[in-house]
Structure 1
């Protein structure tokens, strides 16, 4: 099956009333490089060698991320290492609240939905995933685990990207 962007695939699923998988959860734990360089409202994928720093994030079966708040400077490229310390599958997905709300709703309706985007890491128990991302848009963004029920249980966090020199 041809891979589509998350937005296009969600639109296809909504328009077709599909109950089968239209997106692909990638095996492993996220992207180790930028296989897709597509600008989003919250930034763009980057290569590992471009990362200016690394951030360790833990997730667990209490449906929480630690830390659950991240702060970056506009233009900063970071390597997010996401460790699943639970016994359940979890994921880390960056987006706007609107995008995450829509995706979480789709995941409840189609729990077998698959997806694979550079701003997502699907991480098996005891494993570590990785996202390398350039935050080139200022603002407040979100991250979440969108596996059915996890988002609704509060498995969410906030990202603040500060504009430099007082600009937003």
Structure 2
């Protein structure tokens, strides 16, 4: 076994941290890109969402936290933007058919979900409760989100989601 001289030990002690730092700097962009999640919070009140306009990027995982600060339950649905009439005039069935989550993997933590087959179409959040919706936007466009409980949409509980 060979004995290290004091000079060799000093070089190794000083060189190792430099090498480790270089490796971390090279790996940092790779790890940060994989960890990106778009997070936004929507507060539900009687009878509105705050904020009422939100933006997401297509292909980047999203996490929407719904907080119900109202006195009654509220729904959260995302559907195609109504063209000539309000979504409520088009009907709950129309909102279900144009549901943004159709055919997409969605995870919901908390709240009550209503499904049509494998597809999530609405989330109901009780007063004082919080629900988290996780998905990766796959389709760009401008969509509406709203609460279709009788009287809520008409009172203004709707918003716009733009996905680019």
Q: Given the alignment of the two structures, is residue 57 of structure 1 paired with residue 59 of structure 2, yes or no?
A: no
Structure number with higher helix proportion: 2
Q: Cα deviations across residues 106-130 of structure 1 (Å, max 9, x unaligned)?
A: 89xxxxxx93353532000000112
For the residues of structure 2 that align with 1:139 and 1:106, how far apart are their CA atoms?
Answer: 18
Q: 1:51 to 1:118 in 2, by over 3 A?
A: farther
Cα offset, 1:105, TM superposition: 7.1
1:63-102 aligned at under 5 Å gives the runs: 63-98=47-82, 100-101=87-88, 102=90
Q: Which has the larger radius of gyration?
A: 2
* Stretch deviating more after TM superposition (98-107 or 63-72): 98-107
| RMSD, aligned α-carbons | 2.8
Partner SS state of residue 136, structure 1: coil
Cα offset, 1:51, TM superposition: 7.2
Q: 1:70 to 1:160 in 2, by over 3 A?
A: same
**Count of residue pairs brought into register by the alignment:** 107
For the residues of structure 2 that align with 1:83 and 1:137, how far apart are their CA atoms?
Answer: 25
Cα offset, 1:137, TM superposition: 0.9
- Structure 2 unaligned spans of 5+: 1-34, 96-112
Give 1:142's aligned residue: 144
Q: Cα deviations across residues 78-118 of structure 1 (Å, max 9, x unaligned)?
A: 111100001111011111134944344789xxxxxx93353
Give 1:115's aligned residue: 114
TM-score (norm 1): 0.55
1:133 alignment partner, one of 132, 135, 156: 135
Give 1:16's aligned residue: none
- Structure 1 unaligned spans of 5+: 1-49, 108-113, 163-168
Cα offset, 1:57, TM superposition: 0.9
For the residues of structure 2 that align with 1:136 and 1:125, how far apart are their CA atoms?
Answer: 30
Cα offset, 1:153, TM superposition: 1.1
For the residues of structure 2 that align with 1:129 and 1:158, how far apart are their CA atoms?
Answer: 19
Partner SS state of residue 151, structure 2: coil
1:1-16 aligned at under 5 Å gives the runs: none
